[in-house]
Amino acid sequence: ILGMLGVMVGGITQTLEGEAQIYKSGFRDRFDSTLYLASPESILTVLEEDATLTAYAPRVIVPAVIGS
């Protein structure tokens, strides 16, 4: 499933110009939930102050299984 997730994320981020994602170092290697940005405020402040940035959105990745 990690391979499928990698293809989905790569397909989106590598085809949209100007798209960027910020992760804690090592997170994308294992998608380890303990590797999160503990204090994203400093990053959000930089984004807020960037006049060239039109929009941003914090996101959460949650690996899960859906059943019916």
In this predicted structure, the answer to whether residue 16 has a pLDDT above a threshold of 70 is: no
In this predicted structure, the answer to whether residue 19 has a pLDDT above a threshold of 70 is: yes
Residue 18's pLDDT is 66
Q: Which pair of tokens denotes residue 47?
A: 């984004």
The whole-chain average pLDDT of the chain stands at 82
Domain positions in the chain? 2-49
Residue 10's pLDDT is 76
Across residues 38-51, what is the average pLDDT?
92
- What is the rounded distance in angstroms from the CA atom of residue 32 to the CA atom of residue 49? 30
Instruction: Give the pTM.
Output: 0.54
- What is the rounded distance in angstroms from the CA atom of residue 12 to the CA atom of residue 28? 15
Q: Which pair of tokens denotes residue 52?
A: 């060239």
What is the percentage of the chain residues whose pLDDT exceeds 70?
88
